[in-house]
């Protein structure tokens, strides 16, 4: 049983209410931070913890906080990114739905550290019922004196507001999120200026993911150094993984980043193995935009070493033979899944979600979708595979925001590792409509069920 | 259908606007559009968009460009209940194609269409963050997850009954 810092109380009956959450030791970090620590000391603890942004990019949180500008007389804002929209990712939803007070607690401490008197939670519009849960938690915290004016008699004022988005993946990108929070289309801004200098209403702003802000609670309670002892290397603390696809136990798991991918997939504590006794074909380990890996490269690195569930190990080998931990959206595909079709649905997703500002992304995502659909429906030509490769290369790195990269990587990785499956589709236009390419050489022989 | 807020809706509108600093009332646009859509029959007519613009004291074009950008705002009339079925990767590998086909057949409509009685609209949508509970669809503010054909039947029956009782 691994260490649990975020979800350890998730199963306590009534934990969603302030009363039970408080009785279980909730809001201690607010008392400690506001009464015993300076804002600089809090930032220092977060730096020491080694906490990295849990939304997908993995940027060190303490460093991000230290960039915030503090011009005289200009309000600063903390914004919580609850726009969770990366296919495969549903961990923030779980955390907010079952432990709303953990997020509120982390937000109060973080708002104090950053000097934010009005803090915003930008939540994806579809999570409408969670908006109500969060607003209820905010009211309870306010009634208990942890929000509002002069919190705990320290002179610090803080209000938290929840804003629903309108349905747009791009608003998970922090500058698009800010635009949306200002009541505009979610078009990402050109950086610099970075939000830490000019963000929401051109005021200094920090945007952090839900899980990142929740992790501030154990960091303050146990101290940054103790937190950093959990995990390995630069992958400190715990990480929420949302596992889905063809596994026996889909769900949200908290891991301490020292377990192997093999243990995560096959042990009963986590995914419980592949569904219906089938074989593992491939996996997208960190949300739909990270490279898909065939089973053999997922379980072991190109050097033949076991692969672990952490930032460094999952990216070992670069994009040639590795992937990324990303958002922790862990999508498992069994032997019956078609890589071409899966890639096609993801390409369609990115075409739908492109904001349309940059030509390479606006046009390129549409081309990729059409070509993939052509191959999937048995009308593809061999040259289409090279054309796809060419298009994704021309999108990557040529757009204002990372959506272009996010759209390119899944296509690139699918062709890199499963080119023979694409070719099989082209060569077998009729057969590919009724049957599947299957596993061929991808399965890891040690996991063939008896 | 009226396109002005009643007293209760206006109170909620004022609560939304009060979250933002003086002069930044445009920030309330997305939540205000959600409120308008819920208040005015599940979709936003040009009159409704103009009304929101007038309340927020912004130009109508500022509302149009937002309403057309985000996927949750319906700019055409929809049925009483909208089935928004997820079709992205994780749902697809968990069998969403079969669910979509079954709904099409059962309701005798194509994606984007509404049943003749005005009861149901079918929309195909991209990832809604329920990948571990796939296949799934959203109906109003509720997620319906772990869908099977039997479950779809009971959901349709549930909403038909709800419509009859109201």
CATH number at residue B118: 3.40.30.10
CB contact (8 A) between residue B129 and residue A126 = yes
- Is residue B156 in a domain? yes
Q: How far is CA A366 from the centre of its chain?
A: 24
Instruction: Clarify whether residues B112 and B55 are in a common domain.
Output: no
Numbers of helices and strands, H then E, in chain A: 19, 11
The per-residue pLDDT for A439 is 80
Range of the domain at B117: 81-165
Contact A226, A438 (CB under 8 A): no
Q: Which of A87, A184, A353 sits opposite B90 (nearest CB)?
A: A87
- Give the minimum alpha-carbon distance from B50 to chain A in angstroms, rounded to a whole number: 15
Q: Are B51 and B36 in contact (CB under 8 A)?
A: yes
Q: From chain A, pick out residues whose CB is under 8 angstroms from the CB of B132.
A: 90, 242-244, 250-252
Looking at the DSSP assignment, which residues form a beta bridge with residue A329? A242
Q: Which of B27, B62, B143 sits opposite A181 (nearest CB)?
A: B27
Nearest CA in chain B to A182: B27
Statement to judge: residues B95 and B156 lie in one domain: yes
Q: ipTM > 0.95?
A: yes
Q: Is residue B115 one of the residues assigned to a domain? A: yes
pLDDT for residue A163: 97
Query: What confidence score (pLDDT) does residue A161 get?
Result: 98
Our CA-based measurement puts residue B68 at a distance from the nearest CA of chain A, in whole angstroms, of 9
Residue B70, chain A, CB below 8 Å: the answer is yes
Distance from CA of A92 to the nearest CA of B (A): 9
Q: What is the pLDDT of residue A450?
A: 35
Q: What is the DSSP letter of A269?
A: T
CA distance linking residue A178 with residue A81, whole number of Å:
10
Q: Is the peptide bond before B135 cis (omega within 30 degrees of 0)?
A: yes
Percent of chain A with pLDDT over 90: 95
- Let me know whether B32 and B107 are in one domain: no
* Per-residue pLDDT at B73 exceeds 80: yes
* Exposed/middle/buried for residue A11 (C-beta within 10 Å: 0-12, 13-18, 19+): exposed
Question: Could B66 and A185 be called an inter-chain contact, meaning their C-beta atoms sit closer than 8 Å?
Answer: yes
- Which residue, B118, B45, B48, is CA-closest to B81? B118
Distances A387 to A122, A148, A214, A390, A422 between C-alpha atoms, Å: 38, 57, 44, 5, 13
Same domain, B87 and B145: yes
SS3 assignment, position B86: strand
Q: Residue A371's pLDDT is what?
A: 98
Chain A CB contacts of B97 below 8 Å:
none
Whether chain A has a CB inside 8 Å of the CB on B18: the answer is no
SS3 of residue B125 by DSSP: strand
Query: B42 and B117 share a domain?
Result: no
Please tell me the distance in Å from B135's CA to the nearest CA on chain A: 10
CB A90 to CB B132 under 8 A?
yes
Q: Which CATH architecture has domain A235-334?
A: Roll (3.10)
Nearest chain A CA: its distance from B146 CA (Å): 11
Closest CB to B132: pick one of A242, A345, A349. Answer: A242
A125/B70 CB distance under 8 A: yes
Q: What confidence score (pLDDT) does residue A2 get? A: 79
- Among B28, B66, B90, the residue with its CB nearest the CB of A88 is B90
Third-level CATH fold of A18-229: Rossmann fold (3.40.50)
Predicted pLDDT at B165: 81
Q: Give yes or no: residues B99 and B49 share one domain.
A: no
Contact A175, A191 (CB under 8 A): yes
Q: pLDDT tens digit string along A160-177? A: 999 999 999 999 999 999
pLDDT score recorded for residue A337: 95
**With b meaning 16 or more CB within 10 Å and e meaning fewer, what string describes B134-161?**
bbbbbbeeebbbebeeeebeebbeebee
Q: What is the pLDDT of residue B57?
A: 97
- In-domain check, residue B38: yes
B74 is a domain residue? no
Name the helix (H) or strand (E) containing A221.
helix A210-222
Low-confidence ranges of chain A (pLDDT < 50): 443-450
B37 plus B107 within the same structural domain:
no
Contacts with B28 from chain A: Cβ below 8 Å: 183
Q: Which residue is closest to B141 within chain A, CA to CA?
A: A128
Q: Where are the domains of chain A?
A: 18-229, 235-334, 339-434
Contact A286, A91 (CB under 8 A): no
What pLDDT does residue B164 have?
A: 87
CATH 1.20.1440.230 correct for A339-434: yes
Q: Domain count for chain B, please give it.
A: 2
Q: Testing the interface with A: which of B22, B71, B126 to mutate, by most A Cβ within 10 A?
A: B126
B29 vs A: CB within 8 A: yes
Which of A301, A285, A297, A289 lies closest to A247 in space, CA to CA? Answer: A285
């Amino acid at each position: 049983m691994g260490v649990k810092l975020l979800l350890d109380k998730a199963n306590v009956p009534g934990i969603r209410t302030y009363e039970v959450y408080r009785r279980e030791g909730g809001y201690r970090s607010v008392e400690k931070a506001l009464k015993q620590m300076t804002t600089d000391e809090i930032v220092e603890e977060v730096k020491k913890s080694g906490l990295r942004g849990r939304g997908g990019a993995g940027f060190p949180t303490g460093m991000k906080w230290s960039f915030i500008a503090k011009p005289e007389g200009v309000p600063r804002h903390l914004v919580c990114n609850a726009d969770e929209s990366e296919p495969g990712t549903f961990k923030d939803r779980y955390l907010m739905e079952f432990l709303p007070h953990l997020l509120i607690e982390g937000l109060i401490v973080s708002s104090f550290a950053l000097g934010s008197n009005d803090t915003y939670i930008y939540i994806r519009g579809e999570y409408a019922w969670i908006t109500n849960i969060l607003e209820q938690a905010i009211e309870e915290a306010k009634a208990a004196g942890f929000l509002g004016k002069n919190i705990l008699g320290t002179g610090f004022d803080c209000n938290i507001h929840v804003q629903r988005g309108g349905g747009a993946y791009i608003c998970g990108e922090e500058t698009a999120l800010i635009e949306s929070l200002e009541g505009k289309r979610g078009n990402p801004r050109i950086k610099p200026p970075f939000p830490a200098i000019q963000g929401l209403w051109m005021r200094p702003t920090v945007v952090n993911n839900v899980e990142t802000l929740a992790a501030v609670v154990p960091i303050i309670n146990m101290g940054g150094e103790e937190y950093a002892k959990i995990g390995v290397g630069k992958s400190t603390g715990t990480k929420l993984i949302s596992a889905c696809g063809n596994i026996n136990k889909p769900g949200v798991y908290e891991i301490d980043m020292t377990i192997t991918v093999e243990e995560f997939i096959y042990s009963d504590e986590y995914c419980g193995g592949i569904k219906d006794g089938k074989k593992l074909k491939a996996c997208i380990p960190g949300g739909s935009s990270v490279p898909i890996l065939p089973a053999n490269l997922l379980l072991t690195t190109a050097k033949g070493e076991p692969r672990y569930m952490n930032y460094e190990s999952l990216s070992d080998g670069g994009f040639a033979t590795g992937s990324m931990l990303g958002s922790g959206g862990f999508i498992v595909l069994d032997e019956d899944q078609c890589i071409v079709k899966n890639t096609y649905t993801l390409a369609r997703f990115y075409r739908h979600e492109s904001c349309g500002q940059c030509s390479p992304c606006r046009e390129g995502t549409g081309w990729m979708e059409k070509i993939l659909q052509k191959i999937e429906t048995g009308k593809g030509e061999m040259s289409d595979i090279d054309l796809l490769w060419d298009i994704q290369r021309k999108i990557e790195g040529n757009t204002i925001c990372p959506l272009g990269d996010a759209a390119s990587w899944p296509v690139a990785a699918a062709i890199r590792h499963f080119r023979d499956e694409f070719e099989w589709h082209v060569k077998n236009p009729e057969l590919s409509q009724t049957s599947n390419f299957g596993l061929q050489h991808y399965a890891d022989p040690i996991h063939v069920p008896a | 259908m009226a396109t002005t807020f009643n007293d209760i809706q206006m109170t909620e509108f004022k609560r939304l606007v009060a979250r933002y600093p003086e002069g930044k009332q445009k920030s309330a646009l997305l939540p205000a559009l959600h409120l308008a859509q819920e208040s005015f029959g599940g979709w936003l007519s040009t009159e409704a968009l103009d009304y929101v613009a007038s309340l927020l004291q912004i130009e109508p074009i500022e509302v149009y460009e937002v309403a057309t950008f985000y996927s949750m705002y319906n700019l055409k009339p929809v049925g009483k209940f909208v089935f928004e079925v997820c079709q992205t990767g994780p749902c697809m590998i968990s069998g969403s194609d079969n669910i979509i086909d079954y709904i099409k057949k059962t309701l005798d409509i194509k994606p984007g269409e509404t049943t003749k009685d005005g009861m149901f609209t079918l929309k195909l949508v991209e990832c809604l963050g329920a990948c571990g509970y796939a296949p799934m669809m959203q109906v109003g503010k509720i997620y319906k997850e772990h869908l099977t054909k039997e479950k779809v039947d009971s959901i349709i029956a549930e909403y038909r009954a709800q419509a009859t009782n109201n």
